[in-house]
Amino acid sequence: MQNTFWQYFTVYSSSMVKFIFGPLAGAGFGLPAWITALLTVAGMMTAVVVCTYTGSPLRNWFLQRFFPNRKLFTKRNRLIVRIWRKYGIFGVAALSPLTFTPIGGTLIAVSFGERKSKILIFMLISAFFWGFVFSFAVSFLGTEVLKF
């Protein structure tokens, strides 16, 4: 029982940092795909809720502390602005599990001043979709999915 708790906790907590780590950990532990998917969604949404409500102050502190002389116009920043202008919160939420990480995607949405309720709803939809897609893909395809 205790071993199962730590397996669940590992899947949950790794999904908060990088979304794909949850399904990979779940498959590595041999957990059922649906449990892995739910733990992955829970992990992502925990990070999203924390960053949504502490995002602006945390982002400002982090940037001032670690990047006091950062460039404003970089290729990455321009790409983020282009994605935001073209797709809005829907695009950022859809791409968060794939590219931005749950924390990064949420901070982008908070930075552009999106309403907290919209951030939570769109990130939840994205988390469920990608959580189940990744969990079942990794569960059924195993390590072959990593090569793809």
Domain of residue 45: give its range.
2-147
pLDDT (0 to 100) of residue 30: 86
Evaluate if residue 138 carries a pLDDT over 90.
no
Evaluate if residue 69 carries a pLDDT over 90.
no
Q: 66 pLDDT band (50/70/90 cuts)?
A: confident
Q: 133 pLDDT band (50/70/90 cuts)?
A: very high
**Domain count across the chain:** 1
pLDDT (0 to 100) of residue 65: 79
Question: What value does the mean pLDDT take over residues 3-13?
Answer: 90
82: phi then psi, degrees, rounded to nearest 5: -60, -45
Spell 56-75 as b/e; 16+ CB within 10 A means b: eeebeeeeeeeeeeeeeeee
pLDDT digits (tens, 9 = 90+) for 74-112: 888 888 888 889 999 999 999 888 888 898 889 888 888
Decide: pTM greater than 0.85.
Answer: no
pLDDT (0 to 100) of residue 127: 95
pLDDT (0 to 100) of residue 107: 86
Helix locations, 31-115, DSSP H:
33-66, 75-95, 102-111
pLDDT digits (tens, 9 = 90+) for 11-47: 999 999 898 889 988 888 888 989 999 999 999 999 9
Question: CA of 59: how far to CAs of 28, 62, 76, 116, 136, in Å?
Answer: 33, 5, 17, 16, 34
